[in-house]
A and B are shown apart, each in its own frame.
Chain A
Amino acid sequence: GAGVSQSPSNKVTEKGKDVELRCDPISGHTALYWYRQSLGQGLEFLIYFQGNSAPDKSGLPSDRFSAERTGGSVSTLTIQRTQQEDSAVYLCASSVGHPLGGYTFGSGTRLTVV
């Protein structure tokens, strides 16, 4: 597609439920990133996929968070047993190889845990 597509755009879930967030990057972009943005905070790095290499998971805040990228394209971020502190905007971005030149971001998924 022309841009990075994320779905759903909004998600309200009950505490304790699992959620899946989807990211469809720009075609041909080998690198894909997930960030989390909380109110008044900057973008918090979560996970990074580059081609067929093992993902950099160093930013995942707990073992309730996981992500996969199938076929080098679409990625799914899964949060198990959601907590209220997981409420945030989850942003996906993609780039051609190294991010030296900057990312293209999707519009994000606003997750609210009630």
Chain B
Amino acid sequence: TQLLEQSPQFLSIQEGENLTVYCNSSSVFSSLQWYRQEPGEGPVLLVTVVTGGEVKKLKRLTFQFGDARKDSSLHITAAQPGDTGLYLCAGAGDKIIFGKGTRLHILP
């Protein structure tokens, strides 16, 4: 059974700080996706990474796919209150499986 472990589960930091959240698995995935979910809404796709070692930047967010395509990280620089939400990673094989998410709270 493929599993994705996300860490930390919860993170509360001050505005302006940097943070990294992790997504790990023992399985290899064709691609890995990151979503952000806000209360009362469905997850919204942020990025898809496909190639081992790939790094993608989305403004203050940097996503990295591990060389072996088993893990990924999301780094946020100078966090802002608008970054608050549930961050989910998802690995794609024949279907997509999701981690349990990191709940991020940025304090103003």
Binding site for B on A (CB under 8 A): 4, 33, 35, 40-43, 45, 48, 56, 91, 93, 99-108
Contact = CB atoms under 8 A, between A and B. Distances in A.
Given A4-B42, A103-B96, 9 more contacts: A42-B99, A43-B88, A56-B95, A93-B42, A100-B31, A100-B48, A102-B35, A105-B42, A108-B40
B44 A105 contact: yes
A93 B88 CA distance: 15
Nearest to B29: A100
Interface in B76-108: 88, 90, 92, 95-101
A13 to B, nearest CB: 19
B42 A42 contact: no
B43 interface: yes
A102 B95 contact: no
Contacts of B35: 102, 105
